[in-house]
């Protein structure tokens, strides 16, 4: 995939931007929006943006920064899931702690927000003791969002315990949206002010990109990604009025800015920001090197989001309005679901395979297909066909002998409550890894798995969550139809 974004330039000028903002205060609380690690949306939309780029940026500040992680008590109670990895928000918090520590980034505390006595939240706090990390409970801010006098008082932000921090830059992050990052940051500003510390707040959001046009596909891709939240990009009229410059922001920030501005004024005693855009420190737009390429990647991402919304609707995870919103965005850009070529190729394979569930992978300019077999899921058979193509292995050569697949399937069904007639992708990759210890051809295949990164895949039938996670971990951009394979 051609790079359209300079990660090197981004790290350089983003570091400078954050340093300049830190100098404005004794201590800066920097709210990190989006995913802190594994930011696949940014990587897909801006080819060249690395999924771990935010971590690389944090490592530039590791001696001066610490991280506070926020998690909503209701998200814990309802076992809210991070969809791309199919893990709960609390497991994601634990994963973040371990990952950040492995990169020598200091995680000082976890804040459980909107706490109202939820039992699972208490249990999670107990679990965090094993990680030797301080946990705080914050409740709903009294008076929010209209009664600023109460909000900025000991009854409001002052009612929350003060989070002890020791470094000049405090990163406030979370496993997902609506986790209470802003409230936590502002509560800290109130407490710091009472202690005579000149603390400030800023926001680090990847999307929307304020310096790109409102209807740029990259910004519209953000709307598609947050269709379940009903986010809408808008011109920041505060910024336009103050500076005469058009900038893009989104509805929630624009709606809350007047209150936020007043809260910041009450705490700090002056107006620091005159628009939501003023609060931001992201320089994404300056690092795009190929606008045409980025536009295409963003359009592709919107179509993928549409297919994902359709499957989520089938599962009952979203309302019908979500795919409808994305479809309207596609109409606005003049694109359709049929622009995803692997969909057409997968459907053609299904028609030529007696209507069996089928799939297609696009790699380079090649389209490689597969179908459900006696032992393999359509994803597994397509993957094996693709690996043979990548490694120039003749089609008649079996990477895994049926003599190996059959007993694996038998033992799987013996120990499972749900009988299946095929092996899923993760199971096939495990079988390949075992075969690689004695077969040099298979060993080479395993070593070349990284060549699948950035490829496109579509299945005519719904992909299981288990297989979707494996595909995501391989860096494959997968979509599927909404039909369920009745085994």
Contact call for residues 172 and 179 (beta carbons, < 8 A): no
3-state helix, strand, coil split of the chain in percent (to 5) is 50, 15, 35
Contacts of 415 by beta carbon, 8 Å cutoff, 6+ apart: none
Same domain flag for 125 and 195: yes
Strand ranges across the sheet with 106-113: 134-137, 106-113, 65-72, 169-173, 27-32, 199-204
pLDDT at res. 126: 95
Long-range contacts of 99-106 (CB under 8 A, 24+ apart): 99/37, 99/55, 100/55, 100/58, 100/67, 103/55, 103/58, 103/59, 103/62, 104/59, 104/62, 105/55, 105/58, 105/59, 105/62, 105/65, 105/67, 106/62, 106/65, 106/66, 106/67, 106/167
424: in domain: yes
Among 249, 270, 287, where does a domain finish? 287
pLDDT in tens, 257-283: 999 999 999 999 999 999 999 999 999
- The answer, yes or no, to whether residue 341 has pLDDT greater than 70, is yes
Task: Give me the number of domains the chain comprises.
Answer: 2
Contacts of 18 by beta carbon, 8 Å cutoff, 6+ apart: 30, 57, 61, 169, 204, 281
Residue 33 pLDDT class (50, 70, 90 cuts): confident
Single out the residue of 284, 282, 273, 106 nearest to residue 200, CA to CA.
273
- The answer, yes or no, to whether residue 64 has pLDDT greater than 90, is yes
Residue 196 pLDDT class (50, 70, 90 cuts): very high
Same domain flag for 72 and 200: yes
Same domain flag for 348 and 259: no
329: in domain: no
pLDDT at res. 79: 87
Question: What is the chain's alpha carbon radius of gyration, rounded to the nearest angstrom?
Answer: 25
**422-423-424-425 Cα dihedral, nearest 10 degrees:** -130
CA atoms of 105 and 22, how far apart (whole Å) = 18
pLDDT at res. 417: 62
334: in domain: no
**Surface-to-core class of residue 400, CB atoms within 10 Å of its CB (0-12 exposed, 13-18 middle, 19+ buried):** buried
Domain extent, residue 389, equals 341-483
306: in domain: no
- The answer, yes or no, to whether residue 348 has pLDDT greater than 80, is yes
Supply 53's token pair: 């780029």
Q: How far is CA 462 from CA 225, 469, 480, in A?
A: 20, 13, 5
Going along 193-243, which residue ranges are E strands?
A: 199-204, 233-235
- The answer, yes or no, to whether residue 34 has pLDDT greater than 70, is yes
Same domain flag for 183 and 251: yes
445: in domain: yes
Same domain flag for 262 and 141: yes
Mean of per-residue pLDDT scores for the chain: 93
pLDDT at res. 17: 97
Q: Is 23 helix (H, G, I), strand (E, B) or coil?
A: coil
- The answer, yes or no, to whether residue 487 has pLDDT greater than 70, is no
pLDDT above 70: percentage of residues in the chain = 97
Same domain flag for 38 and 155: yes
Same domain flag for 273 and 353: no
User: In which residue are the tokens 């979707």 written?
Assistant: 468
**91-93-99-100 Cα dihedral, nearest 10 degrees:** -170
Same domain flag for 262 and 353: no
1: in domain: no
* pTM of the complete model: 0.92
pLDDT at res. 82: 78
pLDDT at res. 112: 97
Q: What is the CATH number of the domain that holds 415?
A: 3.40.140.40
pLDDT at res. 307: 97
Number of residues written out for the chain: 487
Among 252, 269, 287, where does a domain finish? 287
pLDDT above 90: percentage of residues in the chain = 83
Contacts of 336 by beta carbon, 8 Å cutoff, 6+ apart: 303, 330
Q: What is the CATH number of the domain that holds 96?
A: 3.10.630.10
Same domain flag for 137 and 272: yes
Same domain flag for 411 and 283: no
- The answer, yes or no, to whether residue 230 has pLDDT greater than 70, is yes
Supply 346's token pair: 């997968």
- The answer, yes or no, to whether residue 80 has pLDDT greater than 90, is no
pLDDT in tens, 104-123: 999 999 999 999 999 999 99
pLDDT at res. 486: 64
Same domain flag for 66 and 211: yes
- The answer, yes or no, to whether residue 383 has pLDDT greater than 90, is yes
304: in domain: no
308: in domain: no
CA atoms of 302 and 317, how far apart (whole Å) = 19
pLDDT at res. 415: 64
pLDDT in tens, 476-486: 999 999 998 76
Same domain flag for 420 and 283: no
Q: Which helix (H) or strand (E) holds 43?
A: helix 40-45
Residues 131-144 have a mean pLDDT of: 95
Least confident of 41-50, 79-88, 116-125: 79-88
Least confident of 6-20, 78-92, 247-261, 306-320: 78-92
Q: Is 371 helix (H, G, I), strand (E, B) or coil?
A: strand
CA atoms of 209 and 216, how far apart (whole Å) = 9
pLDDT in tens, 142-173: 999 889 999 999 999 999 999 999 999 999 99
């Amino acid at each position: 995939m051609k790079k359209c974004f300079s990660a090197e330039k981004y790290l350089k000028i983003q570091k400078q931007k954050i340093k300049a903002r830190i100098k404005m205060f004794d201590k800066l609380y920097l709210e990190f929006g989006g995913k802190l690690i594994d930011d696949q949306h940014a990587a897909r939309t801006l080819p060249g943006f690395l999924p771990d780029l935010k971590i690389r940026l944090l490592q530039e500040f590791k001696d001066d920064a610490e991280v506070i992680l926020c998690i909503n008590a209701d998200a814990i109670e309802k076992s809210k899931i991070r969809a791309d990895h199919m893990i709960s928000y609390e497991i994601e918090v634990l994963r973040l702690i371990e990952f950040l520590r492995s990169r020598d980034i200091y995680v000082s505390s976890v804040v459980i927000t909107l706490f109202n006595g939820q039992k699972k939240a208490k249990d999670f706090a107990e679990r965090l003791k094993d990680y030797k990390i301080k946990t705080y409970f914050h409740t709903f801010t009294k008076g929010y969002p209209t009664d600023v006098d109460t909000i900025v008082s000991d009854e409001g932000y002052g009612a929350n315990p003060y989070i002890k921090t020791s470094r000049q830059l405090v990163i406030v992050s979370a496993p997902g949206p609506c986790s209470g990052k802003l409230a936590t940051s502002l509560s800290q500003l109130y407490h710091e002010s009472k202690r005579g510390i000149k603390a400030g707040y800023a926001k680090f959001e990847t999307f929307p990109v304020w310096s790109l046009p409102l209807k740029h596909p990259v910004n519209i891709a953000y709307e598609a990604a947050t269709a379940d939240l009903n986010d809408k990009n808008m011109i920041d009229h505060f910024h336009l009025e103050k500076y005469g410059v058009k900038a893009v922001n989104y509805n929630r920030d624009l709606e809350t800015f007047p209150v936020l501005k007043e809260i910041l004024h009450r705490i700090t005693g002056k107006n620091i920001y005159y628009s939501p855009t003023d609060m931001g420190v992201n320089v994404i737009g300056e690092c795009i090197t190929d606008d045409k390429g980025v536009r295409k990647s963003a359009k592709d991402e919107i179509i993928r989001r549409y297919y994902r919304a359709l499957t989520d609707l089938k599962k009952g995870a979203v309302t019908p309005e979500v795919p409808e919103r994305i479809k309207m965005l596609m109409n606005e850009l003049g694109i359709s679901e049929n622009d995803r070529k692997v969909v057409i190729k997968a459907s053609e394979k299904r028609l030529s395979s007696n209507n069996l569930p089928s799939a297609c992978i696009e790699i380079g300019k090649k389209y490689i297909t597969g179908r459900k077999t006696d032992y393999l899921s359509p994803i597994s058979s397509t993957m094996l066909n693709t690996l043979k193509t990548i490694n120039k292995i003749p089609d008649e050569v079996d990477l895994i002998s049926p003599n190996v697949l059959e007993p694996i399937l038998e033992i799987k069904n013996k120990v499972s409550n749900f009988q299946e007639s095929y092996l899923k992708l993760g199971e096939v990759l495990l079988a390949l890894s075992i075969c690689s210890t004695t077969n040099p051809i298979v060993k080479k295949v395993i070593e070349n798995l990284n060549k699948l990164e950035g490829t496109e895949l579509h299945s005519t039938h719904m992909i299981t969550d288990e297989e979707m996670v494996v595909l995501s971990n391989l860096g494959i951009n997968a979509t599927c139809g909404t039909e369920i394979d009745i085994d």
